[in-house]
């Protein structure tokens, strides 16, 4: 998925570039039916359940969405690990704070 248009906003690289904006709008229009289908499948899953074919389709759509999110906005896992280690070093020792 190459869509960069969200909630009517364009990405910073397209401001003032009408060709890029037109391309993003075309991408959005092309992707809209797929996005609506994913939303419909999620609603149906929670309301009535899905058939095996629909479950496979939803899994594929969700996998595609996850790959796209990882590409455009990866989680800062290295930073989270560093912070976790830093916080672990701040935990008081049992001898320093009995009963803690």
For 15-42, the pLDDT digits (tens) are 667 888 888 788 778 877 777 888 888 8
Q: How far is Cα 77 from Cα 19, in angstroms, rounded to an integer?
A: 36
DSSP state at residue 14: G
C-beta atoms surrounding 92 within 10 Å: 9
Q: How far is Cα 61 from Cα 73, in angstroms, rounded to an integer?
A: 18
Residue 67 Ramachandran class (φ > 0 left, ψ -120 to 50 alpha, else beta): alpha
Summarised one tens digit per residue, pLDDT across range 34-66 is 778 888 888 998 898 989 998 998 898 889 888
Tell whether the torsion through CA atoms of 61, 67, 73 and 76 is positive or negative: positive
What integer pLDDT is reported at residue 81 of this predicted model? Answer: 94
């Amino acid at each position: 998925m190459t869509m960069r248009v969200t909630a009517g906003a364009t990405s910073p690289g397209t401001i003032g570039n009408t060709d890029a904006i037109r391309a993003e709008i075309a991408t959005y229009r092309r992707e809209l039916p797929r996005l609506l289908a994913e939303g419909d499948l999620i609603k149906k899953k929670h309301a009535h359940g899905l058939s095996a074919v629909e479950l496979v389709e939803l899994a594929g759509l969700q996998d595609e969405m996850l790959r796209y999110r990882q590409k455009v906005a990866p989680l800062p896992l290295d930073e989270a690990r560093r912070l976790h280690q830093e916080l672990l070093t701040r935990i008081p020792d049992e001898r320093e704070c009995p009963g803690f």
